[in-house]
Amino acid sequence: MSSYASSFNESSFTPPIEKPPLPISSEYEMMSGYWSNLQVDRSNWHERAMEECPEVLQYRERVNPIARASKFANLFLPPNRLIDQEILLSIISQHLRTLALVDTESALHEEWDGPYDIPTHLLKSQLTFLVQRGIFHAEQFWQLSPGHSTLPEKERQKQFDAIISQIIGPPVIPIPISDSPIEQETFLDEKFAERAPDSNALCSASFNQLIMLLTVNKLNTQIPPLVDDNSIEDLATAFCLTYNSFVKSIDLLSKLRERFQMAFQNNDKVMANLTFDFFKKWVTESGSEIEQSTLEAIKRFVNEELKDQFPGQTDDLFVQSDKNESLFDFSKAPPVDLSQGKNAKKGSTVLYTDGNFWIGNFKLEDINPIEVARQMTFWSCSRFYALRRTEFIDCAWDKPRLRHRAPNIVSLLNHEVMLSKWVEASIEKDNAFFTFILQVIKALYELQNYNDTYSLFSGIVTLGGALQDTLASNLDKKSKVFYNELMDKYNEVPTYGKIRKDYESALNSDKPTLPYLRVSCSSVYAVSQIESITENGLINLYKALRPYKFIMEVDKCKTRRYSFIPIKQIQQKLDNLPIAANNE
């Protein structure tokens, strides 16, 4: 390092650099004339230091989390995960402004003269936040790297895949998109659009054919029937929901741009408007799932090519819906049932004070079964109503690398397991719990909350053997009929036809309902096994339309919503159900 000290004051060290380095702070500028020579080119000092003292580099990589995070980013992050330069400069500028380094920020703007989009409401440095998050992600990789983890190899790889997927995204295996222009294919040409032999319905098509089908003038063109009697509107919605399974967003944007250009060149206003309608549907319904780099490309395309063609129609294209919209209307909620349950033990202290709080060291069986059913319904609905359609795509809940894409489904399925274990453990500890939980199940069934009905009932079924038979035989006549009815429906695997029938009847009623989510997931899983691409390299429409059918059935449940007042202490109990032997 002595060479740097000796060369520091040598005026003939290197030619002066063209531009002065960016000032760091006013304090630095004040001292620069005293100890620093601005004519010295310091750009290669880091490289020389690493060459002369390689142990410095090793030490830095071993203890410096930022350097380690940067190295892991180079290894794992694909190019499309890099932040756009304009966004990065805005983040850096906002960081400098937060630190009150006004001169440095001004110099940055002079050096990089470009657009800066800095939200005025951000009072904390986003750059610091990004660096901290990057370090955290890198440390997760580090801890699960071979040689640094004590987990068995299979478990280590499973967690490693999950973290990679959560940070980078799932592996995308897109279809091989033909480079041929849309206009080189004739609409519904048999080479590019196949029909089902029994119904003559369109069952597979090339990417170009799909774009034409979704943007064609339906009044002047004979549209063939689609598989399963779906409409073009169904296909458009299903395609926007499932397209990520077989094509990249950037390729879809490229094809739609090509379609727009065809319409503009031929002065075909009808085609242009139909293409814009589908384009808008795609952006508004799938915007949250589109990669940031593609989203930026879409915004540039809109500003440069669509804004003048569709005046006023692009203004609200990227307006996000209000995510803070309430999931419940509490004005319609029935009053909380304050009565103590018949199963409440002596000494339990369930009190209601000043009309506001439940207090005391209580158990769920101390509370009226009807109110327990309401609270369970509220817990499930708070996840179910937040569930997005895209959580079903690619059966994300079932794959470690994709589970982060389905947080609400994962939460509900995990809770089902916890409810089942809680019921089983509680009955084994105290047989009297069986009567209480059956009352809760009956209340849930009457509420048409089939998800929690069968989640709790599965705990009873898990008991099995003599204990279950003995408890069931001691039920009164009315309860036994209900118990046998549920057992008959639950044991109808794998079709669950009677459970599905109950759910379909509930959808046609004027009351809210909650489906048994595990059955809905099994339906989506079964049809998702269809191959995305046919043997001829065409997109299989079954792959898009059949999962969509089941997803929309689940989505219908959000039309009529439950309205119950949540009790914080009971919701906390449901978050931490006792399944251990102490059952406290």
**In this predicted model, which residue has the larger pLDDT, 562 or 117?**
562
pLDDT at residue 92 greater than cutoff 80: yes
Closest CA to 412 of 450, 369, 380: 380
220 band by pLDDT with thresholds 50, 70 and 90: low
Contact present, 298 and 253 (Cβ < 8 Å): yes
Closest CA to 373 of 298, 450, 264, 468: 450
pLDDT at residue 376 greater than cutoff 90: yes
Q: Per DSSP, which regions of 106-229 are E strands?
A: 193-195, 202-205
For residue 354 the two structure tokens come to 């000043």
**In this predicted model, which residue has the larger pLDDT, 247 or 446?**
446
pLDDT in tens, 394-448: 888 888 767 777 889 999 999 999 999 999 999 988 888 999 999 999 999 999 9
**In this predicted model, which residue has the larger pLDDT, 338 or 554?**
554
Asked if residue 346 and residue 302 are part of one domain, the reply reads no
Asked if residue 200 and residue 132 are part of one domain, the reply reads no
What is residue 76's predicted lDDT score, i.e. its pLDDT?
65
Closest CA to 279 of 287, 268, 269, 288: 287
pLDDT at residue 348 greater than cutoff 70: no
Asked if residue 223 and residue 116 are part of one domain, the reply reads no
Query: 3-class DSSP state for residue 367?
Result: strand
15 band by pLDDT with thresholds 50, 70 and 90: very low
Asked if residue 255 and residue 162 are part of one domain, the reply reads no
In a domain, 51, yes or no: yes
Closest CA to 558 of 389, 319, 371: 389
**In this predicted model, which residue has the larger pLDDT, 533 or 421?**
421
Q: What is the DSSP letter of 193?
A: E
What is residue 24's predicted lDDT score, i.e. its pLDDT?
47
List the CATH number of the domain containing 442: 1.10.840.10
What is residue 581's predicted lDDT score, i.e. its pLDDT?
42
Mean pLDDT for the chain? 78
pLDDT at residue 366 greater than cutoff 60: yes
Asked if residue 239 and residue 197 are part of one domain, the reply reads yes
Average pLDDT over residues 306-328: 74
Residue 507's contacts (CB-CB under 8 Å, 6 or more residues apart) are 513, 553, 556, 557
Asked if residue 251 and residue 121 are part of one domain, the reply reads no
Asked if residue 357 and residue 230 are part of one domain, the reply reads no
Query: Where is 352: in which H helix or E strand?
Result: strand 351-353
What is residue 322's predicted lDDT score, i.e. its pLDDT?
47
Asked if residue 429 and residue 284 are part of one domain, the reply reads no
Most confident of 188-202, 232-246, 248-262: 248-262
Q: What is the Cα Rg of the chain in Å? A: 31
353 band by pLDDT with thresholds 50, 70 and 90: very low
Asked if residue 74 and residue 32 are part of one domain, the reply reads yes
Please give the tally of structural domains in the chain: 3
HSE of 473, CA atoms in CB hemisphere, 13 A: 6
Asked if residue 430 and residue 291 are part of one domain, the reply reads no
Domain limit, last residue, from 284, 306, 328: 306
In a domain, 326, yes or no: no
pLDDT at residue 270 greater than cutoff 80: yes
User: What's CA 413's distance to the chain center, in Å?
Assistant: 16
Residues 67, 72, 78: CA angle, nearest 5 degrees: 130
User: What's CA 490's distance to the chain center, in Å?
Assistant: 30
Return the bridge partners of 351, or none.
359
Full domain range(s) for residue 302: 182-306
d(CA 25, CA 3): 28
Q: Which residue in the block uniquely carries the two structure tokens 């950037």?
A: 250
What is residue 84's predicted lDDT score, i.e. its pLDDT?
67
Contact present, 381 and 514 (Cβ < 8 Å): yes
Closest CA to 475 of 439, 523, 528: 439
What is residue 115's predicted lDDT score, i.e. its pLDDT?
59
Asked if residue 489 and residue 381 are part of one domain, the reply reads yes
What is residue 333's predicted lDDT score, i.e. its pLDDT?
84
Most confident of 1-15, 151-165, 347-361, 384-398: 384-398
What is residue 323's predicted lDDT score, i.e. its pLDDT?
47
| From 259-268, 494-503, 553-562, the region with the lowest mean pLDDT | 494-503
Asked if residue 481 and residue 369 are part of one domain, the reply reads yes
Helices (H) and strands (E) in the chain, counts: 24, 5
d(CA 48, CA 44): 6
What is residue 380's predicted lDDT score, i.e. its pLDDT?
95
pLDDT at residue 50 greater than cutoff 70: yes
Closest CA to 232 of 222, 247, 244: 222
d(CA 454, CA 412): 13
| From 108-122, 233-247, 295-309, the region with the lowest mean pLDDT | 108-122
Domain limit, last residue, from 168, 195, 214: 168
Average pLDDT over residues 3-11: 36
Contact present, 233 and 239 (Cβ < 8 Å): no
2 band by pLDDT with thresholds 50, 70 and 90: very low
For residue 396, count CB atoms less than 10 angstroms from its CB and return exposed for 0-12, middle for 13-18, buried for 19 or more. Answer: buried
What is the pTM (predicted TM-score) of this model? 0.67
pLDDT in tens, 20-48: 444 445 555 555 554 556 666 767 777 88
Q: What is the DSSP letter of 12?
A: T
pLDDT in tens, 277-290: 999 999 988 877 78
